[in-house]
Amino acid sequence: MTTLSKPFLEIPRRNAEERPVEERIRDYNKTAKEMTQEQVVEQAKRCMNCGVPFCHNYGCPLLNVIPEINHAVSRGQWHKALDLLLDTSPFPEFTGIVCPALCEGSCVNGKDGDSVTNREIEHRVIETGYENGWVRPNLPLVRTNKRVAVIGSGPSGLSCAEYLNRAGINVTVYEVAEHVGGFMRYGIPDFRLPKTVVERRVELMKAAGVRFEMNVRIGKDISPEYLLRGNDAIVLCCGSRAPRDLKVPGRELSGIHFAVDYLTQQNRINGGEIFEFDETKCAKDKHVVVIGGGDTGANCIGTAIRQGAADVMQIEIMPNAPMKRAADNPWPEWPRIFKESASHKEGCSRKWNINTLEAIGENGKVKALRCSEIEWLRGEDGRMYNVPKKDGEFILQADLVLLAMGFVGHAIPEIVSAFNLRTDERGCIFRDSTGMTSAKGVYIAGDCATGQSLVVRAITDGKHVANGIIRTLLN
């Protein structure tokens, strides 16, 4: 074997391949194929082991030691790579699939070329760990008599519970849903994140001593007072769950749904849950319009295509992102550039600079959307505003409209009032540097503290707050 002197110049970046479109749209199995260990070793060699690794200290919220992990992988030292990865990341099996790879946005290789495929490497490292039985329950060295209740089993709740339990604190996770995972379970579709990946980790956590109480709504089935009496601390990891609405005439028509409600129904079907199926949330033979050009919208497209939609259109009010970084978006910032997801390649149309003016119905059901092309202009105050284009109005046939326009606010009102929490003028729940709210012993982590974000950030926040609680309870 020849030794390459500058592998980052000689080995091209290689991404995981995708299953053929005609095959994958017939099922909900993972779209991405697995890369082989040999392919991943080759990719790890592209890492330049930079003196200042921006991927590690700027890109990755968990501060994963990416150059060291890549170096170990490039030498085939899988166990060492796993140890390095698990040192900072509790659940690389989640981020190795769904993280947008913030680290790759700040990779020095990506400045003038293609970044190192860190997420794929992370994915292969943790899967190699599972395949070899190296990933074990993290049992505490000593069990204390402290008790903490974690409310919500999304990535922030799981991360918080994992670290508290490792420190010997007795943890119970309370979850209103039937299954663990939060949006990883009910938002992200199976063709992106198979739910077995979440379940496998939950089994390890149970084996390490974490208790899970499902189908329990805190604030309704169990009172805050009861929880406070029985625990040394409570952590609210309830997510941010108020989707942005479409305020146009006709919004009340049947067939217009929030993206999350739509995705949840399909995830529940795939998970074998028994519930009353809502036909208005199924795309079969329908003209589907997804409003919102982000990742949640892309998840709706892939789901609608698998359900047998007649056609799918995605519209976005903002302009299309540029193909390359704009001058005001320099490296190592996250690149705000054009993205095409696997779902987009499965057969949908996309339009940008489109405003929705009205939903048009027939017999109470949505049939079309009246839309307008718009232009974005900068006002004298420096802010952008949009104006309709002359003769830019048009009608889009639509018997299923999915609203994927992001989320508003941070806090869940019922939780704020149940625990009597202080919020600021924007509705954010106040918390100190340990994560404690204005209510003594009540902490908050994840999207309900930060607003809708990412799995990796929720995991990081859960870890941070767990450390704050450990410092308070065990010192």
Ligand X SMILES: Cc1cc2nc3c(=O)[nH]c(=O)nc-3n(C[C@H](O)[C@H](O)[C@H](O)COP(=O)(O)OP(=O)(O)OC[C@H]3O[C@@H](n4cnc5c(N)ncnc54)[C@H](O)[C@@H]3O)c2cc1C
Question: What is the x/- site pattern for ligand SF4, positions 69-108, by CB under 6 A?
Answer: --------------------------x---x-xxx-----
Candidates 237, 256, 315, 396; binder of ligand X (CB under 6 A) is: 237
Query: Rule CB under 6 A: is residue 292 a binding residue for ligand X?
Result: no
Question: What is the x/- site pattern for ligand X, positions 413-452, by CB under 6 A?
Answer: --x------------------------------xx----x
End-to-end CA distance of the chain: 55
Convert 201-230 to b/e letters by CB count within 10 Å (16 or more is b).
bbebbeebbbebeeebebbeebebeebbee
Cα-based angle 397, 398, 399 (whole degrees, multiple of 5): 135
Q: Which is nearer to ligand SF4, 122 or 316 (CB)?
A: 122
Query: Rule CB under 6 A: is residue 125 a binding residue for ligand SF4?
Result: no
Instruction: Give the nearest distance from C-beta 122 to ligand SF4 in angstroms.
Output: 5
With beta carbons less than 8 A apart as the criterion, state whether 140 and 167 touch.
Answer: yes
Size of the site for ligand SF4 (CB under 6 A): 14
Token pair 């295509």 is at which residue?
Answer: 305
The dihedral sign for the CA sequence 186, 191, 192, 197: positive
- The encoded tokens of residue 382 equal 């420096």
Q: Which is nearer to ligand X, 184 or 368 (CB)?
A: 184
Identify the burial level of 105 via C-beta atoms within 10 angstroms of its C-beta, where 0-12 means exposed, 13-18 middle and 19 or more buried: buried
Question: Which of ligand SF4, ligand X, none does residue 177 bind to, with CB < 5 to 8 Å depending on kind?
Answer: ligand X
Supply the angle between the helices 259-270 and 295-307 in degrees, to the nearest 10. Answer: 50
Residues 6+ apart with CB under 8 A from 245: 251, 258, 403, 405
Query: Rule CB under 6 A: is residue 60 a binding residue for ligand SF4?
Result: yes
Query: Rule CB under 6 A: is residue 66 a binding residue for ligand SF4?
Result: yes
Q: Which is nearer to ligand X, 153 or 172 (CB)?
A: 153
Instruction: Give the nearest distance from C-beta 125 to ligand SF4 in angstroms.
Output: 10
Candidates 31, 40, 45, 64; binder of ligand SF4 (CB under 6 A) is: 64
Cα-based angle 49, 52, 57 (whole degrees, multiple of 5): 105
Query: Rule CB under 6 A: is residue 218 a binding residue for ligand X?
Result: yes
Query: Rule CB under 6 A: is residue 59 a binding residue for ligand SF4?
Result: yes
Alpha carbon distance 475, 473 (integer Å): 6
Rounded-to-5 percentages of helix, strand, coil across the chain: 35, 20, 45
Query: Rule CB under 6 A: is residue 295 a binding residue for ligand X?
Result: yes
With beta carbons less than 8 A apart as the criterion, state whether 385 and 353 touch.
Answer: no
Instruction: Give the nearest distance from C-beta 70 to ligand SF4 in angstroms.
Output: 10
Peptide bond into 7 cis (omega under 30): no
Q: Identify residues 284-343 at the interface with ligand SF4 (CB under 6 A).
A: none
Alpha carbon distance 296, 189 (integer Å): 10
Q: Which is nearer to ligand SF4, 255 or 462 (CB)?
A: 462
Question: Which of ligand X, ligand SF4, none does residue 219 bind to, with CB < 5 to 8 Å depending on kind?
Answer: ligand X
Candidates 68, 93, 122, 346; binder of ligand SF4 (CB under 6 A) is: 122
Q: Which is nearer to ligand X, 46 or 201 (CB)?
A: 201
Q: Which amino acid is at 279?
A: E
Question: Which of ligand SF4, ligand X, none does residue 169 bind to, with CB < 5 to 8 Å depending on kind?
Answer: none
Instruction: Please state the φ and ψ torsions of residue 390, each to the nearest 5 degrees.
Output: -60, 135
With beta carbons less than 8 A apart as the criterion, state whether 64 and 89 touch.
Answer: yes
Question: Which of ligand SF4, ligand X, none does residue 258 bind to, with CB < 5 to 8 Å depending on kind?
Answer: none
Dmax (CA) of the chain: 72
Q: Could you tell me which stretch among 57-65, 159-167, 209-217, 320-328 binds ligand SF4 (CB under 6 A)?
A: 57-65
Q: Could you tell me which stretch among 31-39, 116-124, 348-356, 439-447 binds ligand SF4 (CB under 6 A)?
A: 116-124
Alpha carbon distance 400, 390 (integer Å): 28
Query: Rule CB under 6 A: is residue 174 a binding residue for ligand X?
Result: yes
Query: Rule CB under 6 A: is residue 453 a binding residue for ligand X?
Result: yes
Query: Rule CB under 6 A: is residue 302 a binding residue for ligand X?
Result: no
Alpha carbon distance 230, 214 (integer Å): 18
Question: What is the x/- site pattern for ligand X, positions 183-212, by CB under 6 A?
Answer: xx--xx------------------------
Instruction: Give the nearest distance from C-beta 183 to ligand X in angstroms.
Output: 3
Query: Rule CB under 6 A: is residue 156 a binding residue for ligand SF4?
Result: no
Size of the site for ligand X (CB under 6 A): 39
Neighbours of 387 (CB within 10 A): 12
Q: Which is nearer to ligand X, 209 or 294 (CB)?
A: 294
With beta carbons less than 8 A apart as the criterion, state whether 47 and 67 touch.
Answer: yes
Alpha carbon distance 85, 267 (integer Å): 30
Question: Which of ligand X, ligand SF4, none does residue 157 bind to, with CB < 5 to 8 Å depending on kind?
Answer: ligand X
Closest by CA to 92, choosing from 60, 123, 135, is 123
Residues that bind ligand X (CB under 6 A): 98-99, 151-157, 174-177, 182-184, 187-188, 217-219, 237-239, 260, 263, 295-296, 299, 412, 415, 446-447, 452-456, 458
